[in-house]
Amino acid sequence: MLTDELRRKLIEAALTVRSHSYAPYSNYAVGAALLTESERVYTGVNIENAAYPTSMCAERVAVFKAVSEGERQFRAIAVATANAGTPCGSCRQVLSEFGLEILVIVINEKGEVIQESSVSELLPGAFGPQDLGIKSSDQS
């Protein structure tokens, strides 16, 4: 369960960090704020590149920052875009690696919550460790 205070903190962080986006090609700025079980917040922005495939989404930047700091358990992620776009398939897959019940809060540029759902709702039939014959407790 996410308290109103934590929800507000997450939404504000996603909106604030969105201004740091590097999106000179699409002009589609995205900010993400990821809440861990330890209640730390990791932010990320989309970072584009002239060689399009090397661009990186805000959601994955936030996850990778958290993982690089030793975090592995996530509660929620807020994603802020101008029009409340949802995470792409790659971001959904990366989030699923850390829990299908992670809450995804999608907000527009005004900070209005447009959608709330779990990763499992956004990515039905997710490919995971079980598909490789690995139990989740076997992961490090």
- What is the pLDDT at residue 139? 58
Token digits of residue 115: 């959608």
- What is the pLDDT at residue 119? 98
State the Cα angle at 93 between 75 and 53, rounded to 5°: 125
pLDDT at 137 over 80: no
pLDDT category of residue 68 using cuts at 50, 70 and 90 = very high
pLDDT category of residue 138 using cuts at 50, 70 and 90 = low
- What is the pLDDT at residue 1? 80
Q: Specify the residue for token string 């809060």.
A: 105
Q: Is 121 a catalytic residue?
A: no
pTM to 2 decimal places: 0.93
- Model confidence pLDDT, tens digit, residues 45-61: 999 999 999 999 999 99
Token digits of residue 135: 């139990």
Q: Count of CB atoms within 10 A of residue 51's CB?
A: 7
With beta carbons less than 8 A apart as the criterion, state whether 108 and 14 touch: no
In CATH terms, 4-134 corresponds, of 2.30.30.60, 3.40.1440.10, 3.40.605.10, 3.40.140.10, to: 3.40.140.10
pLDDT at 140 over 80: no
Residues contacting residue 41 through CB under 8 Å, at least 6 positions apart: 9, 10, 13, 33, 34, 35
Laid out side by side, the sheet with 31-36 consists of 41-45, 31-36, 74-80, 103-107, 113-118
Q: Count of CB atoms within 10 A of residue 68's CB?
A: 9
Mean pLDDT value of segment 107-112? 97
Catalytic choice (59, 69, 109, 116): 59
